Amino acid sequence: MIEYRITGEGNSETLLFVHGLGANYRQFEKQHDYFSKDLMVLSVNLRGYGNSTVLQPSSPADFALGKMGEDIIDLLDALAIERVHYVGNSMGGNVGYELLKSHPDRVSSFTTFGTTAQLQKSEFTIKILRFTYQLMSSNALAYLSSLSGRTKHAKSTIKKMMAQAPKSTILNTIPVLANFDYLDVVKDSTAPAMIIKGDQDVEINKELSSTVQAFEQRGDFQLKTITNAGHFANLDNPEAFNKILGDFIWTTKLYQGLTDN
């Protein structure tokens, strides 16, 4: 079962937001407020978050990105939604690449932020990360994560989300997010695509060059940067984020039903 929030019912186009590691669908409240007048807006809690279920006891195999992608497809089927305009942050972007690979017909457009299509970390690095998370309390992890925010609102929202994230979910997902390569998926994809960069999202921005190059070679791609924003760009600067995403929707004719009136 996947927990979700949906607003703007009755609008013809669906905009889907998917969170990253440790976050949840509350990350996108301001996007629901902004876009629901013109679009049906859907946000989800990935398996292991909120009331979204996962078998217990669980293992990293239960948090495979492909399985998370299939959870979303099952939800779209249950809601009778044929296609979505996909927006994923961090791990949510990786889940989106799984959809581009396995269900490209369900993706009308593709936007990521705080996400790269290629990452390779050593087994030693993975073990150190898991060991660190095991040692720290949930409150300590939430506080450290909140430091990635650039505003009081962002820090508060990040802290609340991270404090709610089950530690077992985090520990089982870390190995899944350490090694992946979707560059071939990028090259084979056809959906209009955009990457939004927070200019202060240092760790991800160091890994973005191969992803940007693959999209630029493919074409039908936009790269946008938000200043004074980090890994959670939509929380750090929601006004700029919503404007950039709205412009992308307009230029890729996702608002076609509105412009025809």
The average pLDDT across 136-163 equals: 94
Q: Are 41 and 15 in contact (CB under 8 A)?
A: yes
pLDDT at 252: 76
In Å, what is the CA distance from 153 to each residue of 145, 196, 232?
14, 20, 11
Query: Residue 4 forms beta bridges with which residues?
Result: 44
Q: What percent of the chain has pLDDT over 90?
A: 80
Q: Which residues pair with 6 in a beta bridge?
A: 42
In this predicted structure, what is the pLDDT of residue 124?
76
- Nearest alpha-carbon partner for 27 in 252, 241, 255: 241
Question: What is the reported pLDDT for 235?
Answer: 98
Residue 261 has pLDDT above 70, yes or no: no
* CA 112 distance to own-chain centroid: 6
Q: Is the dihedral of CA 17, 99, 83, 220 positive or negative?
A: positive
> pLDDT at position 253, please?
61
Task: State the pLDDT confidence band at 247, using cuts at 50, 70 and 90.
Answer: very high
More confident position, 44 or 56: 44
* Least confident span in 106-115, 119-128, 203-212: 119-128
Of 146-160, 165-179, 235-249, which gets the smallest average pLDDT? 165-179
Domains of the chain (ranges, CATH numbers): 4-119+180-259 (3.40.50.1820)
Name beta bridge partners: 42: 6, 16
